Amino acid sequence: MTTTTTPNPEEAIEHLNPIAARMMLAAFPDHIREAFERRAKEIDYPVEAVLEMAVAGFLDREALSFIDCKPRY
């Protein structure tokens, strides 16, 4: 299991909080949660970054993270 730390205030505004990400992942069906965790391991990123990329990409196809996400809805 990956250890998470509380982000500094600037990161908390710009990125998905690791604790919030774990809470979100816990709500997904096992196969979805496992897919996020597997992908994070494959690309050597924290799982919260992979979840953030998925959400940002859903809202803005050109976004890589919440920083550059400009949802048009």
User: pLDDT tens digits, residue range 15-54?
Assistant: 999 999 999 999 999 999 999 999 999 999 999 999 999 9
Domain presence at residue 66: no
Domain span at 54: 15-59
Spatial separation of the C-alpha atoms in residues 11 and 13, rounded to whole Å: 5
Domain presence at residue 4: no
Domain presence at residue 69: no
Split at pLDDT 50, 70, 90, the class of 9 is: low
pTM summary value: 0.77
Domain presence at residue 34: yes
Domain presence at residue 67: no
Cβ contact 54:70 at 8 Å: no
Domain presence at residue 7: no
Domain presence at residue 70: no
Q: How many domains does the chain have?
A: 1
Q: How many CA atoms lie within 13 A of 17 on its CB side?
A: 10
